């Protein structure tokens, strides 16, 4: 796992104290609010309000036109098709609107495009199918704002279109009876950050005429789609998710209960974080590996038994999704092991006929997390088209990087942290070259991944009272993440495997205080620390209810050697990258004979190093990032070591090895004019 920079938030403690007293809230919670930019009385009052005021749906432009046309279709029994999307947001939005229109007596069905065959949004293919089915009115949810040409085609077929969407608006609105979008500049005073299901909910409120009744009916669907789409949990979204969680945890939602049962979480009271972990991935999985119709069938099931069966199908889809994602990730690790030079790319670009498009984005995110670099995963189909997804690190705008290569692409879209794209497979090598040239030119020093930490904390404050005080800030999600705390100078007492060896449990101690924590997705073999080592840990805290009692649960987000110097590490890493790119001739990267000897003696004493480069760097004091990189390369060239992914093995040698005459060190000496 790539080393990350810890970024500790700052806050006005005096202002936090004022808020604590004025609103009678825990001082720690007040500090966290201020550190997150919620500091005015109005902001704090709105954030803490147990009931959120929902704006008038008719403040959204064209809402009156949408309602009038839909009511006309219901009155005249014109066939209506709700046109959704294959992700969690689009599925819940389609289910919500379908259920409401069915209850209102409409002749209504729904259409969800295939991710693999049709892609996102309205297509000409789908328009023809809907015309053949007798559809007169199409209502989009979570899509349609970019369908300018498709809307014209729909009109030419004699059908009409109502668009509800939450994505950014282009240069022109599509031709439609109504275009309802919170980002329209001619809206009234509306909340802008709704998910697609949130906009569909607004339409439902406008059609039905009562927001509270609609909230009672559909809060679960709105919450699932809102959390699943990772929109900011601020403003109206907080109220929608709170209401949805309350309904789900009351046991009043057959679909959610069935999903919890399938996930093995039937007895858990879900938070927004729990929803994002147990429910949303299973809903998304249907559209990724099978048909998203399964998910709509779950949410529109008339009885619990049917819901349980559909949820079990989604659980199987989710397991398949995990397998496909892992296959891609492991194939990339194997590529890097066989050809370490690939790791030098600023942007990782991989393409294969074996990859599944539905999991490309998830695999790209995992690769980005592992290597701390932007990643693009492309799936090549039988027609020679490479399509897939990109994910990025904070500070590197992957949409702009992709746009820089626009002439090589058939289509692309996205935002700073994620993008989708397609291109002829023959263009992939040139695309890889161009996007890496752009990255090197735009970012001589590559942006780094960060761990955002709310504050440093003494382990003596880790208790259930802390967890209780944090509940005031829930629900947590995008724009309001779970608090992360930094614990320093913990002495490891023991490290034990957990979850069939997939995770580890640590027992640590500081000044007599015992701290027990779990680190997920880290095996004992991958963990570079042992009993007696001193570490710093970034952690999240929660409570775990077991056999009638609450227990403190501490999850490690990141663990590193105590007292490391972030600035030194990243400065040296930048110096190496600029040297490797030919931008500078900084001789701090050259490993002298003494440096090489120190590194080799350390490795020889270990026999094998299996914890990766960064852990080795922090185990060797007084050696720069670049020196270690070039020393390891020279060792391999001279037959002293062999490297396989994160494992460095010391090889048996006979006779003396002249390391300074290895190709790499000879080249460095020539470039730096060293004798």
Spatial CB neighbours of 16, under 8 Å, sequence gap ≥ 6? 27, 30, 31, 33, 34
pLDDT, tens digit, for every residue of 216-258?
999 999 999 999 998 999 889 999 999 999 999 998 899 999 9
pTM: 0.88
CA distances from 297 to 17, 73, 291 (A): 50, 24, 11
88 contacts 284 by C-beta, under 8 angstroms = yes
Residue in this structure with the two tokens 């919450």, named with its chain if needed = 223
Q: For residue 359, what are its two tokens?
A: 């999991």
By C-alpha distance, which of 567, 499, 491 is closest to 529?
491
| Pairing verdict, β 534-546 and 503-510 | unpaired
Q: What is the pLDDT of residue 266?
A: 87
Q: What is the pLDDT of residue 415?
A: 79
Q: What is the pLDDT of residue 274?
A: 92
Question: Strands across the sheet with 647-650, in order?
Answer: 608-609, 647-650, 641-644
Between CA 608 and CA 39 the distance in angstroms is 52
The DSSP output letter for 484 is -
69 contacts 162 by C-beta, under 8 angstroms = yes
**Total residues belonging to the chain:** 675
Which stretches of the chain score pLDDT less than 70? 1, 50-52
Residue in this structure with the two tokens 């056999």, named with its chain if needed = 547
Q: What is the pLDDT of residue 546?
A: 74
190 contacts 55 by C-beta, under 8 angstroms = yes
- Cα-Cα end-to-end distance for the chain: 37
397 contacts 416 by C-beta, under 8 angstroms = yes
pLDDT, tens digit, for every residue of 108-159?
999 999 888 887 889 999 999 999 999 999 999 999 998 899 999 999 999 9
Q: What is the pLDDT of residue 50?
A: 66
By C-alpha distance, which of 514, 513, 528, 515 is closest to 559?
528
538 has which bridge partners?
A: 486, 558
By C-alpha distance, which of 142, 282, 293, 309 is closest to 226?
142
By C-alpha distance, which of 518, 19, 433, 33 is closest to 234?
33
| Pairing verdict, β 534-546 and 549-561 | antiparallel
- Per-residue burial over 492-511, b = 16 or more CB atoms within 10 Å of its CB, e = otherwise: beebeebeeeebbbbbbebe
Residue in this structure with the two tokens 């349609």, named with its chain if needed = 144
Question: Strands across the sheet with 108-111, in order?
Answer: 108-111, 80-83, 137-141, 160-164, 178-180
Strands (E) across 520-619 are located at 534-546, 549-561, 608-609
Q: What is the pLDDT of residue 140?
A: 97
Q: What is the pLDDT of residue 247?
A: 95
Rg (CA), the chain: 28
Between CA 616 and CA 631 the distance in angstroms is 12
Q: For residue 656, what are its two tokens?
A: 């003396």
Between CA 559 and CA 486 the distance in angstroms is 10
Between CA 630 and CA 651 the distance in angstroms is 18
Between CA 543 and CA 230 the distance in angstroms is 24
């Amino acid at each position: 796992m790539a080393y990350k920079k810890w970024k500790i938030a700052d806050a006005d403690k005096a202002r936090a104290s004022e808020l604590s007293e004025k609103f009678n809230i825990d001082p720690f919670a007040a500090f966290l609010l201020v550190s997150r930019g919620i500091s005015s009385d109005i902001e704090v009052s709105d954030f803490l309000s147990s009931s959120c005021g929902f704006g008038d749906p008719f403040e959204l432009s064209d809402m009156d036109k949408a309602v009038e046309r839909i009511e006309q279709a219901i009155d005249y029994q014109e066939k209506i098709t709700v046109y959704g999307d294959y992700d969690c947001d689009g599925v819940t939005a389609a289910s919500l609107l379908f259920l409401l229109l069915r209850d209102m007596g409409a002749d209504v069905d729904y259409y969800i495009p295939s991710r693999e065959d049709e892609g996102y949004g309205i297509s000409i293919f789908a328009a023809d199918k809907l015309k053949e089915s007798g559809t007169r009115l199409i209502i989009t949810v979570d899509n349609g704002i970019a369908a300018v040409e498709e809307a014209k085609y729909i009109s030419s077929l004699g059908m009409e279109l109502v668009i509800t969407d939450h994505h950014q608006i282009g240069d022109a609105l599509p031709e439609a009876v109504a275009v309802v979008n919170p980002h329209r500049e001619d809206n009234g005073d509306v909340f802008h950050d709704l998910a697609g299901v949130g906009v569909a909910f607004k339409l439902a409120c406008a059609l039905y005429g009562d927001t509270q009744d609609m909230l009672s009916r559909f809060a679960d669907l709105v919450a699932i789609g809102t959390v699943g789409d990772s929109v900011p949990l601020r403003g109206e979204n907080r109220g929608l998710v709170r209401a949805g969680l309350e309904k789900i945890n009351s046991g009043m939602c057959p679909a959610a209960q069935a999903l919890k049962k399938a996930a093995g979480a039937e007895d858990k009271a879900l938070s927004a974080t729990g929803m994002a972990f147990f429910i949303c991935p299973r809903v998304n999985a249907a559209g990724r590996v099978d048909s998203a119709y399964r998910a709509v069938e779950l949410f529109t099931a008339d009885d619990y038994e049917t819901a349980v069966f559909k949820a079990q199908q989604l659980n199987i889809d989710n397991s398949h999704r995990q397998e496909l994602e892992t296959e891609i990730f492991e194939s990339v690790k194997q590529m890097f092991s066989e050809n370490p030079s690939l790791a030098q790319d600023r942007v990782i670009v991989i393409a294969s006929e074996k990859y599944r498009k539905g999991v490309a984005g998830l695999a790209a995110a995992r690769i980005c997390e592992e290597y701390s670099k932007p990643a693009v995963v492309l799936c090549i189909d039988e027609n020679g088209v490479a399509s897939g997804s990109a994910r990025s690190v904070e500070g590197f705008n992957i949409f702009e990087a992709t746009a820089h290569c626009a002439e090589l692409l058939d289509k692309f879209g996205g935002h700073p942290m994620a993008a989708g794209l397609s291109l002829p497979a023959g263009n992939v090598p040139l695309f890889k070259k161009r996007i890496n040239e752009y990255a090197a030119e735009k970012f001589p020093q590559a942006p780094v991944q960060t761990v955002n930490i709310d504050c440093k904390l003494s382990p003596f404050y880790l208790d259930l009272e802390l967890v209780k005080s944090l509940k005031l800030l829930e629900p947590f999600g995008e724009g309001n993440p779970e608090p992360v705390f930094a614990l320093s100078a913990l002495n490891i007492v023991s490290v034990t495997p957990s979850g069939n060896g997939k995770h580890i449990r640590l027992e640590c101690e500081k000044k007599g205080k015992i701290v027990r924590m779990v680190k997920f997705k880290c095996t004992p073999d991958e963990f570079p620390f042992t009993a007696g080592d001193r570490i710093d840990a970034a952690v999240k805290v929660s409570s775990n209810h077991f056999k009638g009692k609450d227990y403190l649960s501490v999850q490690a987000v990141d663990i590193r050697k105590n007292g490391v110097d972030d600035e030194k590490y990243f400065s040296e890493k930048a110096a190496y990258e600029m040297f490797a790119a030919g931008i500078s001739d900084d001789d701090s990267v050259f490993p002298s004979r003494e440096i090489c000897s120190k590194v080799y003696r350390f490795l020889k004493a270990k026999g094998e190093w299996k914890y990766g480069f960064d852990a080795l760097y922090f185990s060797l004091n007084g050696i720069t990032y670049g020196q270690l990189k070039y020393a390891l390369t020279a060792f391999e060239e001279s037959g002293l070591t062999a490297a396989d992914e994160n494992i460095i093995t010391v090889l048996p040698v006979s006779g003396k090895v002249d390391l300074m005459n290895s190709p790499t060190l000879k080249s460095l000496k020539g470039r730096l004019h060293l004798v």
